[in-house]
Each structure stands twice: as C-alpha cells, then as structure tokens.
C-alpha cells in the first residue's frame, strides 16, 4: 500500500465492483449533503440569469406541497429498487437480520439504535438495498428524519420518494394512526445528542429520558419494535469530546441552538483509506427484534408510559446481549443507556 505524508493511497487498479460500490455511497452523500450547497448556489443563479419563472414555479409547488412530509409523503418503489442502493449496501456491506415477522394487521414504531454519526444503518429501510421490502412486502415503511431536512428544495422530494417523512408528532400520528394497518415508522430515537457519543467500539444510547415515542405508540396502539445496528459507530473516527470538556460544551450549546450536532469526525476518501468524509468499509449488521404488543390508550398515564419504556429498554438490552457476540462485540462490552 502506497503512503504519502501518512495518507494511505488506494491502488490505481481496483475491481470494477468496488468502484460501483463507492459510486453508490457518493450518490447518497450527494443527494443528502451536497444538494444543499448546490441548491443554495444554483437557485439564486437561475433566478438572476433568465430562469426566474422556473424558480418561482418551484416555489409555488413547494408552498402547495408543504404538508406532504407530515402526511406520509409519496414513496416511489421504483426509486427504492434502483441498483445504486445495492451498490451502496455492498460497500460496507450492510446486512439486515430479523428475529420475528411483522404481521400486516398491525402498525409498528421501530426504534433504531444507535444513531451513529449520520445513521447509515437507517438506509436498510429507505430502499430495498438489503431486501427489506421483499421480507415485508405488505408493510409500508417510513423512515423519519428532522423536520428541517424538508426545508431544502429538491432534496425534500428525493427524501419523500424514498419513503422518508419528518419525525414530528403530527407526522408519526398520521402514519401510525392509519386504520388500514400495515404501516411502520422507523425512528432513530437517540437523535443529535447520541451522535456526539458515536465513538468506535462504544455503545452509549440517549434513551433514558426519551419517552415521547413511547407515548405516541400508546396513543396509536402501534407495536414497538427495538432494532440495533451493530457496527454503526465504527464507520467514522470522532474527536475526543468527553463529558465536561470544552469541545463537548460547545457541541451541546450549538445542538441546543439549532438542533443539529456539530460532530467533528473523519473517515476515508475516494482515493485513500484514512482521510476524508466517506465512511470506512466496516460491516453493518442490523438486527430487528420482536414486536412488543401495545394496547391503544388515548390518554396514557405517566405510569403506563414509564412501564412500557422500561419494557422497551429491557427488550432492546436483551437483543443487544443476544446478538453482540455474532458481530464481533466483546462479551464485556455492555450497552450504556443514559
């Protein structure tokens, strides 16, 4: 392997299938990150260079379509079955394992853990790259993300076409309260706070105080399903940010200000193995637990919420302990829930 100033360069000759896998990752990173910059630069340029009617027409469409992320969006199974998703999943690779079926006569709230830096394992549910749609053909799966992600033109449509909706209470109630059943919402419970603890080989979950999703499950009678992604925290290296440190205090301040964690991290590049913004090629194994039955309760008491929350934590911990040995997690490595 050739090195230059400590950077491990990739060889000139790489198998074509690996090139395609990298292309799959670039496609997703472009759609999710770089489109923000593109739109911020492109739309003003178009407006002042003779294409103002197009920009105005899109603005009218966006205004008219503003509530779609709250109403289940508009998924395209054709897009979710595109070959590029399989390239993306084979890059790591991402594998999906289920321990129980999801009968279509119920609705489900799937809790995804851990968040990691950018919740790569959530891609299990926003495409058919790992065959989730084939495993549960009668379940309509919606992955949830921050409301602000739908404020970006073009990107918002891309997200909804891949079954992604916002994580507001209104949005979750719309999906989980559907009387047709067979609906599932995937919520990365730990959110931005948990991203700050996404250090390799550590599993620290922000969950102890997260009870809003429990209340929503009770109000809609949606069965709760714990889901753990082994390897999610190994995809990037984070700067040291111990509790109480200056960098952690700054990160927490910024997160409280805008809701987004300013995680300082790095991975690999397109043509090197140890410096860049792409994730490392580390295997990801997502294990879906068995559904926890939930009785619909219009106005759940705090006691009912706490009891179901405790049950959920117990089931998630058991899922982690049962499967961690299969995916290279040492026996002494315990799940830390804060």
Does a structural domain hold residue 115?
yes
The pLDDT of 168-186, averaged and rounded, is 94
Could you tell me the CA-to-CA distances from 171 to 175, 274, 313 in Å, in that order? Answer: 7, 39, 24
The pLDDT of 125-135, averaged and rounded, is 95
Q: What pLDDT was estimated at residue 229?
A: 97
Beta bridge partners of 330: none
Distance in angstroms (rounded) separating the CA atoms of residues 180 and 178:
5
Does a structural domain hold residue 277?
yes
DSSP, collapsed to helix, strand or coil, labels residue 167 as coil
How far does Cα 187 stand from its chain's mean position?
Answer: 8
Is 6 a residue whose pLDDT tops 80?
A: no
Distance in angstroms (rounded) separating the CA atoms of residues 140 and 126:
11
Q: What is the DSSP string of 251-319?
A: HHHHHHHHS-----EE-B-SSBSSSSSBPP---EEEEE---B-----SS--HHHHHHHHHHHHHHHHHH
Could you tell me the CA-to-CA distances from 112 to 211, 224, 225, 286 in Å, in that order? Answer: 14, 11, 9, 9
Is 223 a residue whose pLDDT tops 80?
A: yes
Does a structural domain hold residue 93?
yes
Q: What percent of the chain has pLDDT over 70?
A: 99
The pLDDT of 286-299, averaged and rounded, is 96
The pLDDT tens digits for 197-213 are 999 989 999 999 999 99
- Give the pLDDT band (50/70/90) at residue 117: very high
- Give the pLDDT band (50/70/90) at residue 1: low
Q: pLDDT averaged over the chain?
A: 92
The pLDDT of 166-177, averaged and rounded, is 95
Is 5 a residue whose pLDDT tops 80?
A: no
**Burial grade of 225 (CB within 10 A; 0-12, 13-18, 19 or more):** buried
Of 247, 258, 230, 224, nearest to 146 (Cα)? Answer: 258
Could you tell me the CA-to-CA distances from 138 to 134, 135, 165, 180, 182 in Å, in that order? Answer: 9, 9, 19, 11, 6
Task: Return phi, psi of residue 110, to 5°.
Answer: -95, 120
Is 323 a residue whose pLDDT tops 70?
A: yes
The pLDDT tens digits for 9-61 are 878 888 999 999 999 999 988 887 778 888 888 888 888 888 999 999 999 99
Is 2 a residue whose pLDDT tops 80?
A: no
Is 66 a residue whose pLDDT tops 70?
A: yes
Q: What letter would DSSP give residue 168?
A: S
Q: What pLDDT was estimated at residue 165?
A: 96
Q: Which contiguous run of DSSP H or E holds residue 68?
A: none
The pLDDT tens digits for 250-270 are 888 888 877 777 888 999 999
Distance in angstroms (rounded) separating the CA atoms of residues 321 and 324:
6
Pairing of strands 108-113, 140-145: unpaired
DSSP, collapsed to helix, strand or coil, labels residue 94 as strand
User: Residues with Cβ < 8 Å from 18, sequence gap 6 or more?
Assistant: none
Does a structural domain hold residue 25?
yes
Q: What pLDDT was estimated at residue 237?
A: 94
Q: What pLDDT was estimated at residue 300?
A: 96
Q: What pLDDT was estimated at residue 334?
A: 92
How far does Cα 40 stand from its chain's mean position?
Answer: 24
Beta bridge partners of 268: 278
Is 118 a residue whose pLDDT tops 80?
A: yes
Terminal C-alpha separation, the chain: 42
Q: What pLDDT was estimated at residue 10?
A: 79
Does a structural domain hold residue 1?
no
Q: Is the pTM of this model over 0.85?
A: yes
Is 173 a residue whose pLDDT tops 80?
A: yes
Q: What pLDDT was estimated at residue 30?
A: 84
Q: What pLDDT was estimated at residue 179?
A: 83
- CATH code of the domain containing 27: 3.40.1130
Is 128 a residue whose pLDDT tops 90?
A: yes
Does a structural domain hold residue 5?
no
Lowest mean pLDDT among 213-217, 229-233, 244-248, 319-323: 244-248
Tally of structural domains, the chain: 1
For residue 92, give its domain range: 12-337
Does a structural domain hold residue 3?
no
Does a structural domain hold residue 7?
no
Q: What pLDDT was estimated at residue 8?
A: 82
């Amino acid at each position: 392997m050739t090195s230059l100033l400590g950077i491990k360069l990739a060889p000139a000759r790489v198998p074509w299938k690996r090139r395609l896998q990298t292309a799959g990752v670039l496609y997703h990173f472009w759609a999710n990150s770089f489109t923000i910059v593109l739109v911020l630069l492109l739309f003003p340029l178009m407006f002042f260079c003779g294409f103002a009617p197009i920009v105005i027409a899109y603005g009218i469409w966006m205004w008219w379509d503003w509530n779609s992320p709250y109403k289940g969006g508009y998924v395209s199974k054709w897009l979710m079955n595109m070959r590029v998703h399989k390239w993306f999943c084979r890059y790591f690779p991402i594998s999906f394992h289920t321990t129980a079926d999801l009968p279509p006569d119920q609705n489900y709230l799937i809790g995804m853990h851990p968040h990691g830096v950018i919740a790569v394992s959530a891609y299990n549910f926003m495409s058919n790259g790992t065959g989730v749609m084939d495993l549960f053909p009668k379940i309509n799966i919606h992955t949830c993300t921050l409301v602000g992600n739908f404020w970006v033109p073009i990107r918002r449509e891309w997200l909804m076409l891949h079954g992604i909706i916002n994580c507001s209470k209104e949005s979750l109630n719309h999906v989980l309260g559907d009387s047709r059943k067979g609906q599932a919402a995937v919520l990365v419970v730990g959110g931005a706070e948990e991203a700050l603890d996404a250090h390799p080989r550590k599993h620290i979950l922000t969950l102890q105080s997260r009870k809003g999703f429990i209340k929503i499950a009770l109000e809609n009678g949606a069965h709760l399903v714990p889901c753990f992604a082994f390897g999610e925290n190994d995809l990037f290296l984070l700067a040291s940010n111990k509790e109480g440190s200056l960098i952690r205090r700054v990160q927490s301040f910024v997160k409280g200000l805008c809701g987004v964690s300013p995680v300082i991290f790095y991975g690999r590049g397109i043509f090197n193995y140890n410096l860049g913004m792409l994730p490392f090629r580390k295997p990801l194994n997502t294990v879906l637990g068995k559904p926890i039955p939930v009785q619909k309760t219009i106005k759940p008491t705090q006691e009912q919420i706490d009891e179901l929350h405790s049950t959920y934590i117990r089931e998630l911990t058991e899922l982690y302990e049962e499967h961690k040995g299969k995916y290279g997690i040492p026996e002494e490595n315990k799940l830390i829930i804060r």
